[in-house]
């Protein structure tokens, strides 16, 4: 209500100046509005821009500033109409950032298909922007968010007022400390020009027995609160040291950058006799950039924070600095491209287990700021995962904290249905989050001749280098299930005494939680006997047809044995082991592409590779197997030189045969 009242009063003043503004008057008003905009007084600027726009005046600058005045104050829904006008009436030579903001604003009203189209344009214009790459690489982001969703129950809190509450933190004294604009006076001299809201102070509230609700509200004692903004805190383990964000106000003096703008800094205070005293500015702060939103790790050895200091990738990046002895600090380090984008990464929180929770509009999400989690890999944060609904919404969701022992925490949001501008919510985590890209391999192992389920089959998953990833056995119903990382090629091996082992090659994709059905029928070893004794075999027969083998194909211009071919060669080996008198001739072939002599040499390589595999892997006496290489002389279809054929048709000619000699 306060925000609306201020806007209306501003508009009345403007309207009283003139009912018919001429071009000169319009330019004066716009100049004043632009001055307010540059000083981050977005509400004052918006009132003028709206008045001029409603009188029929339009320009690229007017629409862009009007849209931004909504966007930068968190009212993304209000910005949609003006970004839409901007792109409809002035589509050329627009800064790509307006496309990004427009897409975010469309998400705020859940127009995700339209937002995705705008992000496609944004990607075309920017080329290498990480926000665009994140979108392009995760076009199915809504599907992932749905899979991630439903893992929290959230609850509104009684501490919220009609103004703004956010940035909850644990003070390790069974209280939550948060920032609120509830108690400041609301006359115009005490309103912040950014959003016409009172300045923020720090308050505490006691955690009730249910560990979810809060009761009682007290302003933090001592000199920690001032007439300017104080927000986002982080407390030491004993609760006697606090790091907090404040406007650049040190020793009762306000500081500005070279443009005259008051930025944010981090401060430290200690608790003595129940009051916060000894307030110190941290040494890596500066008048020329903002440093804010602190978070200590579990042992207090590292401090995480948000900043746009030199070395930042975007509008706000996450950094970490070592907390040393005697009040000293190391050199801040950027958390890197795995976390930071060209957008806003802010409000970091490091849980006791080392997980990093933070808010971002650069990683793909539901709109505005979304909350993400990253699990450290060898102490490095590389990948961010959206925590899903209902914690995230189309609006701004931020300042997430969590007690992992009881899985209860708090966060802030300006979503619809709240009591004020920003509200704090509590939550209970009910399920584990998806924090790595995994896929699932499952299936049924059966006897290929009887179709009976086979229990206790050994299942081994290896990568292409032969490293064992996971081992398991099939259950009483012949079923098995394992999970494996994404984007990797695997060999699924099934083995059981009395059966011929089988290998199946599988390449996982980058789709989260995808399942692969790899059901494997195993041939009984005695089946080889059945086939050889029940079917008449003559010299010159192709053993692969008698044993009902799958064709043994080679890749283009390659003589190596493929994993699929190994399964079939093992059957040849089994037959030769069962019948010591059996002798065969391996005949290898190529397709017609390349020259005659090249193909001849290639088929020699394939023949030798096949013969070598059977001898070395099967322990077959070398005199029982010989080979011939035919090159392209014995094609089994019409794919001769200069005849157009598909790759599948050419592949049929790249084969090996196993002819019975004795």
DSSP state letters, 537-574? --TT-BHHHHTTPPP-B--TT--SPPHHHHHHHHHHHH
Give, in words, the CATH class of 535-660.
alpha beta
Across residues 212-219, what is the average pLDDT? 95
Phi, psi of 593 (to 5 degrees): -70, 155
Across residues 391-412, what is the average pLDDT? 97
241 against 38, higher pLDDT: 241
CB 179 within 8 A of CB 231: yes
Least confident interval from 142-151, 448-457, 540-549:
540-549
- Residue pLDDT, tens place only, 508-537: 988 888 899 999 999 887 655 545 555 556
What confidence tier does 18 reach under pLDDT thresholds 50, 70, 90? very low
Phi, psi of 45 (to 5 degrees): -65, -40
Q: Which CATH number fits domain 152-429: 3.30.420.40, 2.120.10.30, 2.60.40.10, 3.40.50.1000?
A: 2.120.10.30
What confidence tier does 412 reach under pLDDT thresholds 50, 70, 90? very high
Least confident interval from 12-26, 153-167, 550-564:
12-26
Across residues 287-303, what is the average pLDDT? 97
Report the mean per-residue pLDDT for the chain.
86
560 against 242, higher pLDDT: 242
Percent residues over pLDDT 70 in the chain = 87
Cα gap 601→561, rounded to integer Å? 17
The owner of tokens 């990948």 is 383
What confidence tier does 191 reach under pLDDT thresholds 50, 70, 90? very low
DSSP-assigned letters across all residues of 123-190: HHHHSS-HHHHHHHHTTTHHHHHHHH-S-EEEEE-TT--SSBEEEEEE-SSSEEEEEE-SSS--SGGG
Q: Please, what is the angle between helix 23-38 and helix 60-71, to 10°?
A: 40
CB 485 within 8 A of CB 438: yes
CATH topology of domain 2-143: 1.25.40
Whether 19 has a pLDDT exceeding 70, the answer reads no
Across residues 626-647, what is the average pLDDT? 86
- Residue pLDDT, tens place only, 578-594: 777 888 888 888 888 88
- Residue pLDDT, tens place only, 436-471: 989 999 999 999 878 899 999 999 999 888 889 999
65 against 409, higher pLDDT: 409
Give the pLDDT score at 503. 87
Cα gap 234→219, rounded to integer Å? 16
Q: Regarding beta strands 515-517 and 438-447, do their DSSP bridges make them parallel or antiparallel, or are they unpaired?
A: parallel
Give, in words, the CATH class of 438-524.
mainly beta
What confidence tier does 169 reach under pLDDT thresholds 50, 70, 90? very high
Delimit the domains of the chain by residue range: 2-143, 152-429, 438-524, 535-660
Cα gap 253→250, rounded to integer Å? 5
Cα gap 394→32, rounded to integer Å? 33
Radius of gyration over every alpha carbon of the chain, rounded to an integer in angstroms: 34
Cα gap 413→225, rounded to integer Å? 23
Handedness of CA 254, 260, 262, 265 (dihedral sign): negative
Give the pLDDT score at 7. 32
Q: How many CB atoms lie within 10 A of CB 147?
A: 14
| Helices (runs of H) and strands (runs of E) counted in the chain | 14, 36
Across residues 352-363, what is the average pLDDT? 97
Q: Is the peptide bond before 390 cis (omega within 30 degrees of 0)?
A: yes
Q: How many CB atoms lie within 10 A of CB 117?
A: 13
Give the pLDDT score at 14. 29
What confidence tier does 393 reach under pLDDT thresholds 50, 70, 90? very high
Give the pLDDT score at 426. 98
Across residues 125-140, what is the average pLDDT? 84
Least confident interval from 27-36, 168-177, 498-507, 622-631:
27-36
CB 42 within 8 A of CB 73: yes
């Amino acid at each position: 209500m306060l925000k609306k009242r201020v806007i209306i009063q501003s508009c009345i003043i403007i309207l009283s100046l003139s009912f018919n503004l001429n071009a000169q008057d319009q330019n004066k008003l716009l100049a004043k509005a632009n001055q307010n905009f540059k000083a981050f007084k977005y509400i004052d600027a918006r009132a003028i821009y709206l008045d001029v726009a409603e009188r029929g005046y339009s320009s690229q600058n007017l629409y862009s500033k009007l849209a931004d005045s909504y966007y930068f104050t968190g009212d993304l829904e209000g910005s949609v109409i003006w970004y839409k006008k901007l792109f409809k009436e002035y589509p050329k030579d627009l800064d790509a950032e307006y496309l990004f903001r427009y897409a975010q604003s469309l998400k705020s009203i859940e127009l995700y298909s339209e937002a995705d189209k705008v992000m496609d344009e944004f990607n075309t214009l920017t080329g290498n922007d990480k926000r665009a790459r994140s979108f392009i690489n995760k076009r199915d982001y809504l599907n992932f968010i749905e899979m991630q969703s439903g893992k929290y129950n959230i609850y509104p809190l009684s501490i919220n007022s009609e103004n703004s509450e956010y940035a909850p933190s644990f003070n390790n004294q069974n209280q939550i400390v948060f920032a609120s604009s509830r108690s400041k006076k609301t006359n115009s001299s005490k309103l912040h020009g950014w959003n016409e809201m009172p300045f923020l102070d720090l308050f505490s509230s006691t955690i009730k027995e249910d560990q979810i609700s809060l009761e009682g509200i007290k302003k933090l004692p001592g000199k920690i609160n001032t007439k300017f903004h104080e927000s986002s805190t982080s407390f030491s383990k004993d609760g006697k040291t606090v790091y907090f964000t404040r406007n650049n106000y040190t020793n009762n003096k306000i500081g500005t950058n070279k443009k005259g703008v008051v930025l944010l800094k981090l401060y430290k205070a200690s608790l003595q006799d129940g009051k916060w005293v000894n307030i110190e500015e941290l040494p890596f702060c500066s008048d020329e950039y903002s440093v804010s939103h602190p978070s200590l790790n579990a042992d207090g050895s590292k401090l995480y924070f948000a900043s746009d200091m030199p070395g930042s990738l975007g509008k706000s990046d996450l950094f970490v600095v070592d907390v040393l002895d005697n009040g000293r600090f190391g050199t801040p380090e950027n958390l890197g491209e795995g976390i930071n984008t060209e957008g806003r990464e802010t409000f970091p929180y490091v849980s006791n287990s080392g997980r990093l929770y933070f808010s971002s509009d650069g990683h793909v999400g539901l709109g505005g700021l979304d909350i993400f989690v990253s699990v450290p890999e060898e102490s490095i944060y590389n990948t961010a995962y959206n925590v899903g609904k209902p914690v995230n919404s189309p609006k701004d969701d931020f300042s997430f904290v969590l007690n992992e022992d009881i899985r209860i925490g708090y966060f802030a949001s300006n979503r619809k249905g709240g009591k004020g501008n920003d509200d704090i919510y509590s939550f209970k985590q009910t399920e584990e989050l998806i924090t790595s890209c995994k896929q699932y391999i499952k299936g049924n192992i059966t006897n290929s001749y009887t179709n009976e389920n086979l229990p206790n089959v050994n299942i081994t998953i290896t990568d292409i280098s032969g490293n064992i990833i996971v081992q398991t056995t099939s259950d009483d119903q012949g079923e098995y299930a394992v999970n494996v990382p994404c984007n990797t090629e695997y060999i699924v091996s099934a083995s059981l005494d009395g059966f011929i082992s089988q290998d199946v090659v599988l390449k996982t994709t980058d789709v989260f939680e995808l399942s692969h059905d790899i059901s494997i029928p195993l041939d009984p070893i005695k089946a080889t006997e059945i086939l050889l004794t029940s079917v008449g075999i003559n010299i010159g027969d192709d053993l692969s047809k008698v044993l009902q083998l799958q064709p043994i194909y080679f890749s283009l211009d390659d003589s190596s044995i493929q994993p699929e071919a190994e399964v079939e060669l093992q059957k040849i080996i089994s037959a030769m082991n069962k019948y010591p008198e059996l002798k065969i001739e391996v005949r290898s072939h190529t397709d017609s592409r390349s020259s005659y002599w090249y193909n001849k040499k290639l088929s020699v390589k394939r023949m030798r590779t096949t013969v070598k595999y059977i001898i070395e892997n099967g322990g077959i006496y070398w005199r029982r197997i010989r080979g011939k290489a035919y090159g392209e002389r014995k094609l089994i279809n019409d794919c001769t030189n200069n005849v157009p054929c598909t790759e599948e048709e050419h592949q049929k000619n790249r084969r090996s045969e196993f002819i019975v000699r004795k």
